[in-house]
Amino acid sequence: MIDQNDFHMKQMVFFMPVEGDKLSFKNDNIVVKDREDNIKFQITCYRVFILFVVGDTTITTGLLSRANKYGFSICLMNQSMKVYRFISPRMEGNTFLRKRQYDYSGMEIGQRIIMNKIVNQRKALMNIRNKNELMREAIEKLDGHIEKLSGETMDMYSILGIEGSASRVYFPQMFNNVKWNGRKPRIKADFVNSSLDVGYTILFNFVDAILNVYGFDEYYGVLHRCFYMRKSLVCDIIEPFRPIVDYTLRKAINLEQIKEDDFKVVNNKYLVEWKQSKKFTKVFMSELLDNKDDLFFYVQSYYRAFMKGKDFSEYPVYIYKG
């Protein structure tokens, strides 16, 4: 099992192939070659934690074998950066962990996760300079939501109700720098929502890869309901880290690193222009890499608390620094 010192040296690698590029391996390195078989890029397998492939390419069986041997995940995405396949080596046979997951039916851990998320939403708003009256009011309202969640254990619907109420307070102020009609997941109704989907997707698959290190059943969560083929535990664990993506996007819009012109509209959906994909991954990946040790430590601490059956008050909390 990987430890924190080893993880610190690991990298997220994005590969966006042009026509004729292929992925293979050579001397325990991941190698990118062009159609003339010239090497364009290579990195040792020891340093890779997850490899994102955006677009069409050829992947050799040797590379898949090395992914299993060196324990890195491969995330395949189409040109619109939608995931269609996730290949991940996992810790097999951690039956004690799985049994603990299946036996747990409480709401305490999920309530703590959502409280942590709202604390970080508040932190993200506090990081914004020149706060107006509406933003100060939003921060006060979030304080009220945090106070409610810090009390008695609630049922799932009450927790989700507070989360939804907090989001309606938070998002209009986080993106008061653009004309925006609010968060609408996955329907890509505007460039802000589409950009958030990209950032959350990268975060989701990074956390998924970390959970696989420990052998969790990612489909069995502590708050999100179990649905067919939905990785509910990943949906749970990413919640406290979502404000990283939100605040990163706000900064990128202010700096004009991400603009509405970066998208094409197809069937009323805003899709990232292929030539702009590298810019998006660079913006979000650099920020997530700055927080990768915190992500790993959170999952590691969550695993240890879960395995030892600790009180929910001893589960990890991530505090966003911005």
- Which of 42, 71, 87 is the endpoint of a domain? 87
Is the Cβ–Cβ distance between 303 and 215 less than 8 Å? no
Is the Cβ–Cβ distance between 47 and 10 less than 8 Å? yes
Indicate whether 64 and 103 sit together in one domain. Answer: no
Is the Cβ–Cβ distance between 205 and 52 less than 8 Å? yes
Angle (CA) 153 158 164, round 5°: 125
Indicate whether 162 and 268 sit together in one domain. Answer: yes
Does 322 fall in a domain?
no
Indicate whether 177 and 263 sit together in one domain. Answer: yes
Does 320 fall in a domain?
no
Query: How many separate domains does the chain show?
Result: 2
Q: What's the chain's length in residues? A: 322
Range in 91-95, 117-121, 179-183, 281-285 with the lowest mean pLDDT? 91-95
Does 248 fall in a domain?
yes
Indicate whether 107 and 82 sit together in one domain. Answer: no
Give the per-residue pLDDT at 130: 85
Indicate whether 149 and 17 sit together in one domain. Answer: no
Indicate whether 118 and 252 sit together in one domain. Answer: yes
Indicate whether 15 and 117 sit together in one domain. Answer: no
Q: Which range has highest mean pLDDT (81-90, 198-207, 245-254, 307-316)?
A: 245-254
Does 114 fall in a domain?
yes
For 102, the token pair is 């299946």
- Which of 62, 87, 112 is the endpoint of a domain? 87
What would the pLDDT profile of 289-302 be if each residue is shown by its tens digit?
A: 899 999 999 999 99
Indicate whether 75 and 15 sit together in one domain. Answer: yes
pLDDT at 229 over 80: no
Give the per-residue pLDDT at 63: 84
Q: Which region, left, alpha or beta, applies to residue 72 given φ > 0 means left and ψ of -120 to 50 means alpha?
A: beta
- The CATH number of the domain where 268 resides is what? 1.20.120.920
- The CATH number of the domain where 21 resides is what? 3.100.10.20
Tell me the C-alpha distance between 209 and 63, whole Å.
17
Is the Cβ–Cβ distance between 238 and 320 less than 8 Å? no
Tell me the C-alpha distance between 173 and 124, whole Å.
10
pLDDT at 90 over 90: no
Indicate whether 114 and 55 sit together in one domain. Answer: no
Q: What is the mean pLDDT of the chain?
A: 90
Indicate whether 174 and 41 sit together in one domain. Answer: no
Indicate whether 132 and 78 sit together in one domain. Answer: no
Indicate whether 78 and 217 sit together in one domain. Answer: no
* Owning domain of residue 290: 95-314
